[in-house]
Amino acid sequence: MNIILVRHAQSANNLLYDETGSSEGRHADPPLTELGHTQAAALADFARTDATWQGVTHLYCSLTRRAVQTAAPLAAALGLGVQGLALAYEAGGLFQRDAEGVPQPVPGLTHAELLAESPALRWPPELPPQQPWAGGFEEQDHAVLGARAAQVVAGLREAHGSGDTLALVTHGYFTQFLLREFIGHGTAYFRLVNTSTTLLTLPAPDAPEDWGPLVGWVGRFDHLRPEQVSH
């Protein structure tokens, strides 16, 4: 099984931090910026002609607005539906700080609301179809994040065979924990710009136990022009 991990395109919060060095005034569930939409379109254009992307059989994304918006042009380019993955959200989930600066949980959007961002989005079967995604608010603890990453990896392994190629639009910090789970290394950290991609080929089920994944590339962003790169 091959898997391509994609960091979402530039969000309003990414731009806020780039411009101010602060998260003051952040959105709980930010949309993409104009540059973010340009980045997502550039990745989709690249996917139309790239051999690896043309082999993608299943497309996933987290249920945050920025991930769904990033996945939308990819779905159109590849002719695929987008399966929402409830556990693939960014560390901490959705929250807004109160007057004392304490994070407070914020729910996400409903399937109907997110369909306006990506008509190809399929709702996770375990979630109530008419209710908003709960938002995933959690403690930003390495053990918590590692356990959630392990759930995502186990679920994908269980659902797909060696002939499948998956793409998952997720988030920069959570991708670190996904990679650590896939690779079996607990401290590595990788530089991932907006819409950068990482390719892994997982060993077949009958491979020796000590075989790890083949790393095709990490943090690739050659679909972007220099002025389109953001962090």
Task: Write down the domain spans for the chain.
Answer: 2-228
Could you give the dihedral angle defined by the CA atoms of residues 217, 218, 219 and 222, in that order, rounded to the nearest 10 degrees? -10
Q: Which of 40, 67, 3, 6 is nearest to 192 (CA)?
A: 6
Tens of pLDDT, residues 47-61 = 999 999 999 999 999
pLDDT of residue 100: 87
Q: Which of 43, 5, 4, 7 is nearest to 194 (CA)?
A: 7
Q: What value does the mean pLDDT take over residues 29-46?
A: 98
Tens of pLDDT, residues 151-206 = 999 999 999 988 999 999 999 999 999 999 998 877 878 999 999 999 999 987 77
Which residues are CB-contacts of 226 (< 8 A; sequence separation ≥ 6)?
Answer: none
Reported as a pLDDT band with limits 50, 70 and 90, residue 211 is confident
pLDDT higher than threshold 80 for residue 209: no
In the chain, what percentage of residues exceed pLDDT 70?
100
3-state secondary structure (DSSP) of residue 58: strand
3-state secondary structure (DSSP) of residue 62: coil
Q: Which fold has domain 2-228?
A: Rossmann fold (3.40.50)
Tens of pLDDT, residues 80-117 = 999 999 999 999 999 999 888 899 999 999 999 999 99
Q: Which of 191, 203, 229, 9 is nearest to 117 (CA)?
A: 9
Tens of pLDDT, residues 213-224 = 999 999 999 999
pLDDT higher than threshold 90 for residue 207: no
DSSP state of 225: -
| Residue 58 region by backbone torsions, left for phi larger than 0, else alpha for psi between -120 and 50, else beta | beta
pTM beyond 0.85: the answer is yes
Assess contact for 71 and 59: CB atoms under 8 A. yes
CA gap 69, 89 in Å, rounded? 14
206: which 2 tokens?
């009958």
CA angle 136, 138, 139 (to 5 degrees): 165
DSSP string computed for 96-145: EE-TTS-EEE-----HHHHHTT-TTEEPPTTS-TTSPP--------HHHH
pLDDT higher than threshold 80 for residue 148: yes
